Amino acid sequence: MKATAWWTAVLGLSATAAVSQQDGAPRRGAPSIPAPVLGGSAGPAAAPKPEARSELPPGVEVVRDIPYAKAAGRRLRLDLYLPVTQPKPWPVIVWIHGGAWRGGDKTPCDGLPVLEKGIAVASISYRLSGEAVFPAQIEDCKAAVRWLRANGRRRGLDVERIGAWGSSAGGHLAALLGTTGGVKAFDVGANLDQSSRVQAVCNYYGPADLSLMQAHSGPESRLRHDLPDSPESLLIGGRVADHPDKAAAASPVTYATPDDPPFLTVHGTADPLVPIGQARVLDEALRAAGVPSTLIVLDGAGHGGREFQTPVLRAEILRFFERHLRP
């Protein structure tokens, strides 16, 4: 493994970032990172329609509610944001929403800043824990990647350059996409002739080792992760401590191998829902496997908020995806 460099950078406002790195809209303005929007189950099938240009930033088109898979009797859908004034083919980011695996929706999409760099965005829905327990969620994310590879060329996408970005539960699933590229057990459904691997992962404050969530919790924590109704217990279908094998199967750290893509993880030290220790164990597991991993720690930041929206951090995210997805 190559040497690890450490440095500190101020990322705007009062947040200080301690960074470790292994060498190796449709609204105007920058999107915010709001609280999860509950609900969002798909309705009856309908032909996807381009959204009116007047509602989008200049040079962007979005096609909403494209069916990408069918699971448990309903269609799973994605919204595809295209930087149509920039040269094709466009790399694409799969944006995965948060909501404790039991809420949230593909809108609003907080992955839109990459559009300015000529990178498309596919914001996906997936089955929530009230509908189906793990591994349904990662199966759906992988189905979306395979759909993009099978259908993306005709929409102007570079299907060999797909990244993943998500926050909270979505960060967990983005990290799982990154570490389970070679785990065929999670590839089910259509387009199985296509790869579900991604080429870069940005993880905003997502869980990484479910078995350590309670152990990592500090005085700022607002959740008891060892209870049967904790988000991670509901995800795997039972109390985490009673099901260590299921907890391990749902943890990105379990699968870290040298062929994983580069990772960028961003996490706050005062996160009351997902402890900062989760980011550190993921970074350690990736670097131990020889995977390029960058960890940005925001001092005093919580679970999302303005510290994650500074211009300097946004620029860092864009540089990461440009470096690993642009030819």
Query: Which residues carry out catalysis?
Result: 168, 271, 303
Encode 147-195 in three state secondary structure: HHHHHCHHHCEEEEEEEEEEECHHHHHHHHHHHCCCCHHHCCCCCCCCC
Amino acid type, 41: S
Please, is 188 exposed, middle or buried when counting C-beta atoms within 10 Å of its C-beta (0-12, 13-18, 19+)?
middle
Tokens linked to 32: 């915010």
8 Å CB contact between 165 and 89:
no
14's torsion region: left (phi>0), alpha (psi -120 to 50) or beta?
A: alpha
Calculated CA dihedral for residues 58, 60, 64, 69, nearest 10 degrees = -160
Residue with tokens 């920039």: 86
Question: Could you tell me the two tokens for 255?
Answer: 């699968």
Rg (CA), the chain: 18
